[in-house]
Amino acid sequence: MSNLCTSSNTTASSTFNFNIQPLKFNNSTRNHRSRNFRVKMCSSIPQNATVVGCGSLTVDFLATVAAYPKPDDKIRTTTLKVQGGGNAANALTCLARLGLNTRLISKIADDSQGRGMLEELQIDGVDTSFIVVSKEGTSPFTYIIVDNETKTRTCIHTPGYPPMIPQDLSESSLLSVLDGASIVYFDGRLYETALVVAREAARKNIPILIDAERPREGLDDLLKLADYVVCSAKFPKAWTEASTVPRALVSILLRLPNVKFVAVTLGKDGCIMLERSVNASPSTEEVDVDSLLESLELRKDKSASVPTCISSSVAKLKAEGIGTVTGKLYIGTAESVPPSELIDTTGAGDAFIGAVIYAICSKFSLETMLPFAANVAGAKCRDLGARSGLPYRADPRLASFIK
């Protein structure tokens, strides 16, 4: 996430006022990593790949502290960075740095924060022409406390005002933003507008990827239109009420018959992915999905520092009390980032999703997709904020994936 400044404004609630003192930009993208630099690296980008994202765009105020405060404590920050954020905006920034065309649908206010967010996205090559700018109101922002001791982050979000509504996106803009799109990504926010965009994308047979971070209003309707789902660690069991994550993944594929794969990110423990198989042999073996995951875990090389992927054969995966789905189970390991290099996990999931979308556009195998996404997320974790560490296409760490 990036750097911006702001002035006094009124929030969505007439009873809540805030003042933010102007802060100087602190954006690593404002140096040699210009748009021209990025384009020079794009010699073998997936042809005409354009990603449309719909969702969150915010300002992140990142305060690094030695240790998370106790109630009524007074502590000092060790580092302060102000940077653009928001799940959709972060994922599209990741994709733009990897060389894809990106278009963002979101809403901000015409304040100093909003203008800074637009400028930052434009520097990275994200098309901001579909972002609605309200003449009045307040742009959304998030306070993020980064704990140096545990390497965790705590987010306190304030929504922008006025909120985005479907009428903010004209019919001509809707058709224009989806023109030539390779895939559309939704982070679950702005659900009324997102549903309008998703239905039109589905009508045009444009693939849809949903970021299911947590149960939200309107998310179920979006998920019914999804081709791909990437979940946070807590979502699968919360949404399905299954007792284990593998059983929850089976339940998700049974509930959402159009989904090709569902993945769950697990932070330092990597990820689990379940891919649906549609052409399985009638003699395909039936196995318990929890037992299968345990057998894959035993195959992990715990000494490996680079991300790897372990997959099962196609099987009839049985989830006790839920049902059976035919597919393949995958385990992706995370990069083992040395403690001296691990700075901040803010936005690691957004980086992972951006890389997954890139891999879909590039037609990577899932065995390649998961280590690639883990590498991109690991690179992000080496800098403060969700965007500063996002790698560019020419990054040597991605050379084995991007030719």
DSSP string of 13-54? Answer: STT-EE---------GGGSS--HHHHHHT-SSPPTT-EEEEE
Residue 3 lies in a domain: no
Q: Given this model, what pLDDT does residue 45 score?
A: 66
Closest CA to 293 of 335, 336, 258, 242: 242
Closest CA to 138 of 157, 165, 114, 161: 161
Q: What is the CATH number of the domain that holds 139?
A: 3.40.1190.20
Number of domains in the chain: 1
Residue 351 lies in a domain: yes
Q: Given this model, what pLDDT does residue 117 score?
A: 94
DSSP 138: B
Note if the bond before 162 is cis, omega within 30 degrees: yes
pTM, rounded to two decimals:
0.86
Q: What's the burial of 47, exposed, middle or buried (CB within 10 Å: 0-12/13-18/19+)?
A: exposed
Q: Given this model, what pLDDT does residue 392 score?
A: 96
The span from the CA of 243 to the CA of 314, in Å, is 23
At residue 249, the 3 state secondary structure works out as helix
Contact call for residues 194 and 224 (beta carbons, < 8 A): no
Residue 104: count other Cβ atoms within 10 Å of its Cβ: 28
Q: Given this model, what pLDDT does residue 197 score?
A: 98
Residue 188 lies in a domain: yes
The span from the CA of 120 to the CA of 57, in Å, is 11
Contact call for residues 144 and 157 (beta carbons, < 8 A): no
- Size of the chain in residues: 403
Alpha helices in 30-86 (DSSP H): 35-40
Q: Which two tokens stand for residue 336?
A: 């083992």
Contact call for residues 353 and 91 (beta carbons, < 8 A): yes
Encode the chain (403 residues) as per-residue pLDDT tens digits: 333 333 333 333 322 233 333 344 444 433 333 333 333 333 356 767 999 999 999 999 999 999 999 999 999 999 999 999 999 999 999 999 999 999 999 999 999 999 999 999 999 999 999 999 999 999 999 999 999 888 888 999 999 999 999 999 999 999 999 999 999 999 999 999 999 999 999 999 999 999 999 999 999 999 999 999 999 999 999 999 999 999 999 999 999 999 999 999 999 999 999 999 988 787 889 999 999 999 999 998 888 889 999 999 999 999 999 999 999 999 999 999 999 999 999 999 999 999 999 999 999 999 999 999 999 999 999 999 999 999 999 999 999 998 7
Residue 16 lies in a domain: no
Residue 81 lies in a domain: yes
Strands 261-265, 131-134: pairing is unpaired
The span from the CA of 347 to the CA of 352, in Å, is 9
Residue 28 lies in a domain: no
Contact call for residues 156 and 69 (beta carbons, < 8 A): no
Residue 53 lies in a domain: yes
Closest CA to 193 of 210, 159, 212, 168: 168
Strands 286-288, 315-319: pairing is parallel
Residue 36 lies in a domain: no
Structural domain containing residue 257: 47-69+76-390
